[in-house]
Amino acid sequence: MPKLLFIQHGDVDKPGLLADGLCDMGVELELLHPYSGDPVPSHLSGFDGLALGGGGQSAYDVDSHPYLDAECGLIRSAVHLQVPLLGLCLGAQLIARALGAEVRAAEQKEIGFYPVTLSHDALEDPLVGLLPKKFAVTHWHGDVFEIPLGAVHMASSKLTPNQSFRYGKNCYGFQFHLEMTGSLFEELVWDSEEYLVGSGYEPTALIRESKEVLPGLEPYARGFFQRWVALL
């Protein structure tokens, strides 16, 4: 049975639809929680793939979160071995950083449901190309990344030109949260309620919008994760 390591960066930053895809494909999932003290391995011995989830950390804030350097080392090892690799939000930023690209604070946070548009190269990609050419999806980030040297630009949004990339044949990074489910989004909103209200967001309006957007996107997201999991 194939086995995937998922690095989780916070209590509410769960694998969501990715975990569902793993279950559907008969893949074993192991969660690692470095933010609560789990050591990050230096190699992927015993695993067939690596996925990294979102989180409130900044990929470059290694003084506060020294384990992020260890994660970048693990990412580089996975790339060297050509192990299937997936990054979601912070996870994508960590992959970009590990590959030498800049990750920095965005001029404006992107929180809510905004459309992303696939690039021409993405439309020809065997995994991403089956997503809609333009679709609304969950955004929740205050940092952005540059596309790593040698990677293929895959998607953009109005606020964030670099929303996704592919490196090699089996490494994908998404700034947006393709893994998001309705229940996971509600958990994230209420966990961040004080921050959202203080920043001018209305939690109930975000949840209401999630119920309009996520059900229609879910079949496409599940399809992508199943195609990626098939690479393991």
* Sequential DSSP letters for 52-86: E---SS-TT-TTT-THHHHHHHHHHHHHHHT--EE
Residue range 109-144, pLDDT digits in tens: 999 999 999 999 999 999 999 999 999 999 999 999
- Name the band, by pLDDT with cuts 50, 70 and 90, for residue 1: confident
Domain extents for the chain? 3-181+220-229
Residue range 16-75, pLDDT digits in tens: 999 998 888 889 999 999 999 999 999 999 999 999 999 999 999 999 999 999 999 999
- Name the band, by pLDDT with cuts 50, 70 and 90, for residue 3: very high
3-class SS at 153? strand
Residue range 137-187, pLDDT digits in tens: 999 999 999 999 999 999 999 999 999 999 999 999 999 999 999 999 999
User: Tokens 């003084």 — which residue?
Assistant: 63
The CATH number that domain 3-181+220-229 falls under is 3.40.50.880
Q: Given this model, what pLDDT does residue 219 score?
A: 96
d(CA 70, CA 170): 21
Cβ partners under 8 Å of residue 200, min gap 6: none
Nearest residue to 137 (alpha-carbon basis) of 179, 171, 193: 179
| Cα dihedral sign, 187-192-196-202 | positive
- Asked whether the whole model's pTM tops 0.85, one would answer yes
* Sequential DSSP letters for 135-150: EEEEEEEEEEEPPPTT
User: Tokens 């393991």 — which residue?
Assistant: 232
Q: Given this model, what pLDDT does residue 122 score?
A: 98
